[in-house]
Structure 1
């Protein structure tokens, strides 16, 4: 009997199967024909034995021609079975591949909808496992699991019916060990399912570790972490190996028990049927027919023992997939959402308080094990934060690492929702604004520059802005100077994460990307924190020209880049401590002045080294 979770998985799969129901139904309609072609073969052999191959049939006129006709009919039935089996398997594999395609697209679409908080806590490698190998395993469940169950049930039902019709006493002798076997199968099945659930979790963790190690290979090699990583990887693999070996032992017992049951049943049928032949109550043809049916009855169970690994892996993987699909975005669209209006007046942060979720909250929200969560903090990052940014104003937010300045940007772009207070644009709460239109109104340069494996033009335009807009943005930030020196110019294809460009060049492309849509508001998160002095000067010139007619929110690391902004906001532990212009804050001799002196000392020290 299927477990409740198996039925739940099938119920969740039903919408995907329904889309391709015509193919599935066509495949299912072939099952009775396939079963009939297999059931008729032992019957033809029985007729041949009892009608033409016994001593009494010798010399009977027409015996040879009758036997020849049976052979021809038997071959025709075999050929028909081959054609039907091919069509049935092909149709179900076709449905399985299409269902897998639809589900993979659904998972990918869902993952893109998830809030940033999910990706902050859930390792990339585990998400990749859900979208790739777990979905691949689903094909085994659809094309082998569901089909095998339907085909085997049809065959077993037909065999039992025919055997009971021929001789019910011989049938009972054949199935005397079946109840015991089914009980053992149910016991082993529960153990196998638990083992494969654990394997899927460990494989996802292994993939996350691999992805992290390969992405950070430069750091790994620079700090000689190869041996330590090898030990960590070997430990994860050791855990997987232990569970895999346990499942192999269970599967081996399963296969051995099915084979033993087949042997015992065969011995019972031979004994009972042999006595029947001696007493002339059973013919040799009937005994041979029973033996063939008995073999075909136990064949599905033996197949199940061979395929059980695959089916349990697939069932466990499918459960993981739907677990991911059940994760709801924490940032949701309002039922009465509106499009982002043209920015006219001001952006306001009103008594905003925000804290990143703790481990237990994150695990509960995403239905994950706490071991999968990578970030843990429940302390407020911003507390009673109030700030008004008027149109055309250039506001810089500064503070030490961990002060909450980057969180301000994440809340403004609605990667997270505030826990208390509100953020409004022209008096409209951003929680009621369509997320796409909200984010398109801002030209954003994130703290970590990311480039896709595509052309420069595609990286700047992102499929939204035309070629001319891309070139114009590149000219404004002076990125065209290095772009035009490349062999392919704007059609130069970048390596992974833009590896074939310098950091400064990637930074300039990120600026061009932010400017390509002529946004009303620029959001720059430490945009010049990691560039050399020459590139910083180049970017600073572009920024000075650019923000002249735009509102700008700048998260600043290098204080030298924000001297000319209208207002500087100093954050300390999530609370605004100082507000003013560059000269005013220096005269105040507070946190900002101290940060400024520290950076001057760093610059003097660097010049001395140089």
Structure 2
């Protein structure tokens, strides 16, 4: 037997989403338990990406050491090797000529980068596909468990949009945004350790202005998330209108309603266009802020670095390493702007996907209900009755 349960709100309804307290990544973090189902891929992707980011900076350090070696050569052609003793031993072990050793070290850095990056990309992409499948199946199971009346007030296109485009958006978050987060964190941490060990003053000049990115991120995330959510809803509305139009095209043509249906599509598509343009406007205000901050940091680095080099506080090779690593950090800073944008899109999609997963039917089985092991051969009603509205007379 089954019974009705009242008071269950529709988790997929837009009004259930708080418009005033937008928290970056609050819903998208619910993807993490799905990733934990595949610990080997998760660990391989994490370690591969982390190691790739570390070895990515090795060639720049080696170039700095090589510059110091060449610029310190005396009249006899013998240069002074710099760096930790074990590095000097490794360079001379490769070849008696340090110039060759430094060249091989640079090559090995790029070779290791290729290997670790390949491991990372494969692990995160396949993990994303697996999570995509699991999310779609969990949402599907929740939807098929709902009573038929649930679908009476909902358009098929909206539901299809959640199961297709929204789930696909979360796959992008796993395979792309996750690698971007690791890349940014380990690139900055590795660069910070390397540069501070060379000159804490110059490191402060480079990393100091980056702090101002934080208020920029807050401004962007609080403005654009709501627009991305409405954009995802508009996508579902377009799917719904097109699904109704295509499935009922014979009726549309019979009643000469082509113009009316085209206007419906135009309204929904226009709503999507307006939301997308609004989000794009905010995004293109945010990204230039990142470039301005990066420009200030790198400009100060060149000025301060030249002054410190002239004062003898850092060597020419160290200044070269600073400049090379600073240019390498341009890409993570650019990726950071894209990452925030991706997470906002993912947050909007996650709200809709997990709203579907969290659905609970209003009609549930009794605790002592008996499972049907075979097909139904007969139906028997006991103590079943109903009344018409505004009456107390039992009709049946």
Smaller-chain TM-score bracket: 0.7 to 0.9
Residue 315 (structure 1) shift = 2.1
Find the aligned partners of 1:234 and 1:135 in 2 and give their Cα distance. Answer: 25
Structure 1 position 343, deviation (Å): 7.5
**In angstroms, what is the RMSD of aligned CA positions?**
2.5
Which of 63, 75, 86 is residue 45 of structure 1 equivalent to? 63
| Residue 17 of structure 1 pairs with residue 30 of structure 2 | no
Determine helix, strand or coil for the equivalent of 1:347: coil
Q: Report how far residue 87 of structure 1 moved.
A: 0.6
Return the alpha-carbon distance in structure 2 between the equivalents of residues 295 and 61 of structure 1.
Answer: 31
Question: Is the CA contact (8 Å cut-off) linking 1:351 and 1:385 kept in structure 2?
Answer: yes
Contact (CA 8 Å) 1:134, 1:321: kept in 2 or not? yes
SS at 1:335 equivalent: coil
Aligned counterparts of 2:294 and 2:355: Cα–Cα separation in 1: 39
- The answer to whether the 8 Å contact 1:34/1:84 transfers is yes
Q: Does 1:84 align with 2:116?
A: yes
Residues matched between the structures, number? 358
* 1:34 and 2:52 matched: yes
Higher strand share: 1
Asked if residue 60 in structure 1 is aligned to residue 77 in structure 2, the reply is: yes
- The one-character-per-residue Cα deviations of 1:545-565 (angstroms, maximum 9, x if unpaired) are xxxxxxxxxxxxxxxxxxxxx
TM-score (norm 2): 0.83
Compute the TM-score of the two structures, normalised by the length of structure 1. 0.55
Does structure 2 retain, via aligned residues, the 8 Å contact 1:351–1:383?
no
Matches within 5 A, 1:128-527: 128-339=160-371, 347-348=381-382, 350-353=384-387, 380=389, 384-387=393-396
- Structure 2 contact 25–344 (Cα < 8 Å) conserved: no
Which segments of 5 or more consecutive residues in structure 2 lack a partner in the other structure? 1-21, 81-95
- For 1:515-538, what per-residue CA distance to the aligned partner results, in whole angstroms no more than 9, with x for missing partners? xxxxxxxxxxxxxxxxxxxxxxxx
307-316 or 281-290, which moves further after superposition?
307-316
Alignment of 1:124 with 2:160, yes or no, is no
Mapped to 2, the partners of 1:130 and 1:38 lie a distance apart of 39
How far 1:139 sits from its partner (Å)? 0.6
Distance 1:263-1:346 versus aligned 2 partners, 3 A rule: closer
Q: How much does 1:93 deviate?
A: 0.6
Partner of 2:135: 103
Q: CA deviation at 1:347?
A: 2.8
Per-residue deviation, residues 245-267 of structure 1 (Å, max 9, x unmatched): 12222222222222222221111
CA distance in 1, matches of 2:384, 2:367: 23
Q: In 2 relative to 1, CA 58–216 (structure 1 residues): closer, same or farther, beyond 3 Å?
A: farther
The structure whose RCO (Cα within 8 Å, separation 6+) is larger is 2
**Bigger radius of gyration among the two:** 1
